[in-house]
Amino acid sequence: MSLNIGVVMDPIAQIKPWKDTTLAMLLEAQRRGWTLHYMEPADLYVRDGRVFAVTSDLTVRDDNQDWFTLGDPAPRDLTGMDMILMRQDPPFDAAYLYATYLLEKVEREGVLVANRPASVRDSNEKLFATDFPQCCVPTLVSGRAALLREFVKEQGDTVMKPLDAMGGTNVFRIEPGSSNLSVIIDVLTEDGKTPIMAQRFVPEIKQGDKRILMINGEPVPYALARIPKEGEFRGNLAAGGTGEGRELTDRDRWICEQVGPTLKRKGLYFVGLDVIGDYLTEINVTSPTCVRELDQIFGINIAGQLFDALLELK
């Protein structure tokens, strides 16, 4: 079966092919004989109520030096796609918001978009985790300095982070008595105008921040534990962490059972849960990663599992 697969992503020339999850998906789609159509968010447009994009036919290779070839760009009616992968990285800004609106219009015409644009738009990756308080450490979301200071006083060692960043950007650890508390709050909240997230610090971060991948509400049975480098508390690979494969624990599976039905109902077909110790900290819905690392460690094909699940939905 030959399918037309669109991918909305950041510039493909700028990815790190040896670790890029989107490339893993594209390689699998190409292995299946599907035709790939590449576009960036700015290529989407509406003409007389129909959604088009300036797309390029795409060929990919598993080669860290030469991983893609693009054809000549040309306008294409996106309702002619069989499936569109929405794989744009945060930040979730106005351009990202508009892309979800346009892709939602395509979805209404019967095209499968993964993940569902409206659900991506409505599921902030930090706030979404608070829908499952039974899985989380004590958490506060606020822009009020007094509430944030009181939370630190109650919880002691605390992590603060913005709601719209990724890769460990602007994540701060606040220890009791820190003289920098007020300035960190002022900077992160933009002097009280923007809410941020504060969570009790989980010391088990030393054993890794586990990324658990969910496919249509069901977990891949392995996680990638991202272990902080020496002198660092952030496990993100972008912050210098190293990845180690782990089988899911009973607690991991329990968290997946709590979250999975909601993901399936929302059409969040491919999601990354972040778990530290026994606690859920984030739910990544925009462009979850770690497929290539887990495939290599365990000899599996996560992109293949994802496409099999998506084909059952068509």
| Domain of 35, in residue numbers | 4-122
Residue 131 lies in a domain: no
Give 165 or 14, the one with higher predicted confidence: 14
Give 83 or 163, the one with higher predicted confidence: 83
CA atoms in the 13 A half-sphere facing the CB of 157: 6
Distances 284 to 163, 281, 291 between C-alpha atoms, Å? 12, 10, 14
CA 35 to chain CA mean position, Å: 25
pLDDT at 169: 79
The pTM score is 0.92
CATH number at residue 298: 3.30.470.20
Residue 15 lies in a domain: yes
On whether both 245 and 283 belong to a single domain, the answer is yes
DSSP states of 82-106: SEEEEEPPSP--HHHHHHHHHHHHH
- pLDDT at residue 168 greater than cutoff 80: no
Distances 85 to 21, 145, 165, 307 between C-alpha atoms, Å? 12, 40, 21, 11
Count structural domains, the chain: 3
Query: Of how many residues is the chain composed?
Result: 314
On whether both 169 and 143 belong to a single domain, the answer is yes
- pLDDT at residue 235 greater than cutoff 60: no
On whether both 187 and 264 belong to a single domain, the answer is no
On whether both 110 and 157 belong to a single domain, the answer is no
- pLDDT at residue 233 greater than cutoff 80: no
- pLDDT at residue 166 greater than cutoff 90: no
Q: What percent of the chain has pLDDT over 70?
A: 95
CATH number at residue 166: 3.30.1490.20
C-beta separation of 35 from 3 below 8 A: yes
Residue type, 25: M
Residue 150 lies in a domain: yes
- pLDDT at residue 181 greater than cutoff 80: yes
Last residue of a domain, one of 122, 151, 181: 122
Residue 128 lies in a domain: no
Q: What angle do the packed helices 145-155 and 181-189 form, to 10 degrees?
A: 130
Integer Cα distance of 295 and 281 in angstroms = 24
pLDDT at 89: 86
Work out the pLDDT band at 260, boundaries 50, 70, 90: very high
β-sheet with 218-227: strand ranges across = 242-247, 218-227, 209-215, 270-276, 279-284
Last residue of a domain, one of 122, 155, 189: 122
Integer Cα distance of 138 and 250 in angstroms = 21
On whether both 84 and 95 belong to a single domain, the answer is yes
Residue 132 lies in a domain: no
Residue 12 dihedral angles phi and psi, to the nearest 5°: -65, -25
On whether both 154 and 196 belong to a single domain, the answer is yes
pLDDT at 240: 66
What is the sign, positive or negative, of the torsion defined by CA atoms of 190, 195, 200, 206?
A: negative
On whether both 180 and 242 belong to a single domain, the answer is no
On whether both 45 and 71 belong to a single domain, the answer is yes
Q: Quote the mean pLDDT of the chain.
A: 93
Mean pLDDT of 218-235: 82
Residue 277 lies in a domain: yes
Integer Cα distance of 30 and 226 in angstroms = 29
Residue 127 lies in a domain: no
pLDDT per residue as tens digits for the range 80-138: 999 999 999 877 788 889 999 999 999 999 999 999 999 999 999 999 999 999 999 99
Residue type, 127: L
pLDDT at 93: 84
On whether both 214 and 239 belong to a single domain, the answer is yes
Residue 313 lies in a domain: no
Contacts of 64 (CB under 8 A, 6+ apart): 17, 18
On whether both 149 and 231 belong to a single domain, the answer is no
pLDDT per residue as tens digits for the range 39-50: 999 999 999 999
Contacts of 193 (CB under 8 A, 6+ apart): 143
Last residue of a domain, one of 65, 87, 122: 122
Is residue 130 within a helix (H) or strand (E), and if so which, with residue range? none
On whether both 70 and 13 belong to a single domain, the answer is yes
On whether both 210 and 276 belong to a single domain, the answer is yes
Strands (E), the chain: 4-9, 35-39, 44-47, 50-60, 68-70, 74-77, 83-87, 112-114, 139-142, 158-161, 172-174, 196-200, 209-215, 218-227, 242-247, 270-276, 279-284
CATH number at residue 112: 3.40.50.20
Catalytic site positions: 126, 161, 211, 226, 234, 274, 282, 284
